[in-house]
Amino acid sequence: MAAPELEQLIGLLSKLPAFGPRSARRAVLSLLKQKESKFVPLVAAMQTVLDKVDACPVCGNMDTSKPCSVCQDEKRDKTLVCVVQDVADLWALERAGVFKGVYHVLGGVLSALDGIGPDELTINELIQKAALGTVKEVVLALPATVEGQTTVHYLSDKLSEFNVNVSTLSRGVPVGGELDYLDDGTLQLAFKARRNV
Amino acid sequence: MAAPELEQLIGLLSKLPAFGPRSARRAVLSLLKQKESKFVPLVAAMQTVLDKVDACPVCGNMDTSKPCSVCQDEKRDKTLVCVVQDVADLWALERAGVFKGVYHVLGGVLSALDGIGPDELTINELIQKAALGTVKEVVLALPATVEGQTTVHYLSDKLSEFNVNVSTLSRGVPVGGELDYLDDGTLQLAFKARRNV
């Protein structure tokens, strides 16, 4: 058996998404083989992120500054709020560079099966933002799953009390999508929502 | 975009085996969500392993003690040396608990394609061990690949000069192996090497 210190590290790593015990072991050995070039910088980078990065109190984004750089950006349109499931989705939208408003990280989607109700998410915080009257549009950029769409309906219902425009992402054939690789649901939806060219 | 500190950590993580940029991002976010319960212990465990674990100067195993706990173990038969490709294979044999001798980590196998010749591996160190005259048997526990078997032939040739018995692992149907899931090579080999019950 490996030393207890090694076993402990492998155990902790194997709880991360994408890792199992075998790949955690391989990762640790690969780090040990290149201590100076890989292991030392990785531990230093982890310590820095651990010390400096925290959730933004306004939107829930993970950043080194509080509020986060998106919320602090003067050029961002604060009247436009995009609701996302988690920080990974926020980063994906930022990489795409299409949205110039601010975000609201929900922390998940409603799911009766997983026991996630409105109180487990930041829905109250979203309602409070809408109640301030400064928000003109809320874009619900939630996943196109049953749970995601249930959440869209729940939120648009809640937000209908306020004077805000509620929108959601369009659905259809993704860019570069071959039709025969797409699922039936997407094809039906794309057909129904077809538009004149 | 995420903060540069986050991007740097994601970049370093995504170079690990089993990780890509997407899974590295997910892992970092999952750590940030559970800072106290996951992130702090992981960084501490990494720092401990970085400080304490090193390659054993005798066999190449990764351990907190030098020589490693296997080489220091009085109950281990030092006349039996098992040659493995890397530390992961050593650990696999230790988990199986079948071998009571000591190890020799080769650091890879001979591969003309990857430019790995005898000098890239710890073959000279193995020959030196054999030349001491205290080793009775060398078990070549190398992978059943073309490169692995080339290395087996090379090593058994080199070791034939000395008074040591050279052996290799048996080949055939693995335990629990369904015949129709096995490759043709293994089936042919298992048939040729069939034995009376």
pLDDT-derived band at A191 (thresholds 50, 70, 90) equals: confident
* Residue A93 phi, psi (nearest 5): -65, -40
Residue B40: predicted pLDDT: 95
pLDDT-derived band at B173 (thresholds 50, 70, 90) equals: confident
Give residue A107's domain range.
Answer: 62-168
- Residues of A within 8 A of B8 (CB-CB) are 45, 48
In CATH, what number is assigned to the domain containing residue A143? 3.40.1360.10
Say whether the ipTM exceeds 0.85: no
The minimum CA-CA distance between A63 and chain B, rounded to whole Å, is: 6
Residue A107 belongs to some domain of the structure = yes
Model confidence pLDDT, tens digit, residues A168-181: 988 888 888 788 88
Residue B175 belongs to some domain of the structure = no
Residue A187 belongs to some domain of the structure = no
Cβ separation of B25 and A88 shorter than 8 Å? yes
Cβ separation of A43 and B38 shorter than 8 Å? no
CB B71 within 8 A of CB B96: no
Residues A132 and A95 in one domain: yes
In the DSSP assignment, the letter for residue A108 is: S
Residues A127 and A162 in one domain: yes
- Residue A70 in tokens: 């998106």
Partner-chain residue, chosen from A23, A52, A53, that has the shortest CB–CB distance to B18: A23
Residues B162 and B101 in one domain: yes
In CATH, what number is assigned to the domain containing residue A35? 1.10.8
Distance CA B162, CA B158 (A): 8
The minimum CA-CA distance between A12 and chain B, rounded to whole Å, is: 6
Residues A48 and A85 in one domain: no
Cis peptide before B67 (omega within 30 of 0): yes
Model confidence pLDDT, tens digit, residues B2-55: 788 999 999 999 988 888 888 999 999 999 999 999 999 999 999 999 999 999
pLDDT-derived band at B98 (thresholds 50, 70, 90) equals: confident
Residues A33 and A111 in one domain: no
Count of domains for chain A = 2
Residues A71 and A147 in one domain: yes
Residue A192 belongs to some domain of the structure = no
Distance CA A146, CA A111 (A): 9
